[in-house]
Amino acid sequence: MKVTVFGIGYVGLVQAAVLAEVGHDVHCVDVDQTKVDNLKKGMIPIYEPGLTPLVTSNFEAGRITYTTDAASAIKHGELIFIAVGTPPDEDGSADLKYVLAVASTIAENMDSHKIVINKSTVPVGTADKVRAKILEVQTANDKDVSFDVVSNPEFLKEGAAVNDCLKPDRIILGTTSDVSEKKLRELYAPFNRNHDKIIVMDVRSAELTKYAANCMLATKISFMNEISNLAELFGADVENVRKGIGSDPRIGYQFIYPGCGYGGSCFPKDVQALVRSATGVGYNAKVLEAVEAVNYRQKEKLFDYLMQHYNNDLKGKTIALWGLSFKPNTDDMREASSRVLMEKLWEQGANVQAYDPEAMEETQRIYGTRSDLSLMGTKEATMNGADCLVICTEWQAFKAPDFDAIKSTIKDQVIFDGRNLFEPSLMSEYGLQYYGIGRGLSVKGS
Ligand code: UDX
């Protein structure tokens, strides 16, 4: 089928690649000429396992093309995806200017029936706004071409995006049009082989489903972080509690890992956006407000431990920091806990020696060159001359370090672990002091 994707960002590029992989003819449009030129040269703008070979092979096979020419791309696609960014406004609500700009461009250039598909995470009611915008621009241009607007939210996880897209848990189609449903079922048929993953519903329910999914996951995390704080105060170990409650299938083991807070491009933004949307319809979303507040506090947790350990004096301390990305297997640092920590450490006059398997360039891009940040080539190098070790991201490469080397290199022989990678008892055996998250008995160190 002939498909057009607006926005060659995370969602757009992965979506384009998997659609091309199953044989669809995909034109990708972006306003960023450099990005388009780089993609044509095989330079992929994001790090995502499996994405580069998928994109490259489909580009070489002619099933993906890149362009800044929106008019020709709109002529090409009978199905047009909108996958542009919806950055948070100053008040936390999703900014729809890019989505609506694409809607205008579609309206100006369409000359046959189009199915416009919202893939970006957008507030409930956005499909109606896109529909209204297309009608408004058509009317202004004296046009009357038929179209439908469908909500088809994306549920991919960074670091597993290709697999999530190739093997989705569910495909949500928000449409009441039989024609659109039939076309989208045909588009997604290759991903819907083993059992029916397609769930069709009205547009607004589809839009809310996306927010509800992310907010539910964020709620699980903040809930568990709250329990971890209580565990600490009660002298309990949250890791035991986690296993104890996860064994109840109604709760489950997933997304109940306590830590130094959730980050990324989705959870923080989507929780805030739903809180704002709720306010817009006169509702105070108290649970979601608490989810956000708990996460905000949790991102300061490691810093609080450091302040406690060093009697509120971090001036001149050198901190070895492992993990900068908001989670493993990505170079994405949006809303990463490491940033909150580093910025607070710098305010106190501490120096950071950091390492991350993928996010070094991104850190450099965000913070530039500064005397209190040294980006080191290996995790071991961060420890040279460091007073303590802090872990912000649970990369595999951090899970079995040489503890003897840590003990002999880190001056104060102490680890602050924001992801509970190690057992406190083992740390005691190595003679290391250890701060985990919510591991009450270990907090004061061995
Ligand atoms: C998320 C959703 O999982 C995905 O379905 C949606 O489409 C986009 O948002 P992503 O942002 O890529 O995906 O990351 P995810 O793996 O969900 O992790 C988000 C954050 O939560 C990370 O910072 C992670 O460290 C944290 N997390 C996750 C926890 O702190 N504890 C957990 O138990 C799980």
Residues 6+ apart with CB under 8 A from 386: 318, 319, 320, 353, 409, 410, 411
Whether 92 has a pLDDT exceeding 80, the answer reads no
Residues 6+ apart with CB under 8 A from 204: 124, 125, 127, 151, 174
Distance set, CA 237 to CA 88, 387, 425, 438 (Å): 36, 26, 12, 6
> Which atom of ligand 1 is the closest one to the Cα of 263?
23
2-201: CATH topology is Rossmann fold (3.40.50)
The structure's pTM equals: 0.92
Looking at the domain that runs over 211-296, which CATH code has it been given?
1.10.1040.10
For 404-421, the pLDDT digits (tens) are 999 999 999 999 999 999
Give, for ligand 1, the residue of 262, 301, 395 to mutate: max count of ligand atoms closer than 8 Å to Cβ. 262
More confident residue, 66 or 89: 66
Domain boundaries, the chain: 2-201, 211-296, 299-442
**Structure ipTM:** 0.92
Give, for ligand 1, the residue of 217, 222, 265, 341 to mutate: max count of ligand atoms closer than 8 Å to Cβ. 217
Average pLDDT on 74-88 reads 94
**Annotated binding residues for NAD(+):** 30, 35, 86, 121, 158, 269, 334
299-442: CATH topology is Rossmann fold (3.40.50)
For residue 93, report the distance from its CA to the centre of ligand 1, in Å.
20
Residues 6+ apart with CB under 8 A from 331: 46, 47, 325, 356, 358, 359, 361, 362
For 292-322, the pLDDT digits (tens) are 999 999 999 999 999 999 999 999 999 999 9
Do 211-296 and 299-442 come out as alike in CATH topology?
Answer: no
Whether 382 has a pLDDT exceeding 50, the answer reads yes
pLDDT in the model for residue 159: 86
For 238-295, the pLDDT digits (tens) are 999 999 999 999 999 999 999 999 999 899 999 999 999 999 999 999 999 999 999 9
Average pLDDT on 200-213 reads 97
For residue 412, report the distance from its CA to the centre of ligand 1, in Å.
33
Residue ID of nearest Cα to ligand 1 atom 1: 157
Residues 6+ apart with CB under 8 A from 271: 214, 215, 218, 288, 291, 292, 295
Whether 441 has a pLDDT exceeding 80, the answer reads no
Q: CB–CB of 21/44 below 8 Å? A: no
pLDDT in the model for residue 443: 47
For 11-31, the pLDDT digits (tens) are 999 999 999 999 999 999 999
For residue 160, report the distance from its CA to the centre of ligand 1, in Å.
11
266 is catalytic: yes
Sign of CA dihedral 318, 322, 327, 329: positive
Mean pLDDT computed over every residue of the chain: 95
Query: Taking the mean position of all CA atoms in its chain, how far away is CA 4?
Result: 24
